Amino acid sequence: MALDMTKLRVPPGSLLIDIVLSVVVLYGAGQASERLATVVDHLTRLESRVAAIESTGQPMTDRRLAVIESTLAEKDRRLDRIEQKIDMLIERQEARR
Determine, yes or no, domain membership for 14.
no
Is the pLDDT reported for residue 1 higher than 70?
no
Q: Is residue 52 part of a domain?
A: yes
13 within a domain of the structure (yes/no)? no
Contact 28, 21 (CB under 8 A): no
Give per-residue pLDDT as tens, 12-23: 788 899 999 999
* 6 within some domain: no
Q: Establish if 33 belongs to a structural domain.
A: yes
Structural domain count of the chain: 1
Q: Is residue 10 part of a domain?
A: no
**Number of alpha helices (DSSP H) and beta strands (DSSP E) in the chain:** 1, 0
So what's the pLDDT on residue 63? 81
Domain span at residue 59 reads 20-96
pLDDT of 87 strictly over 70: yes
In a domain, 91, yes or no: yes
pTM: 0.43
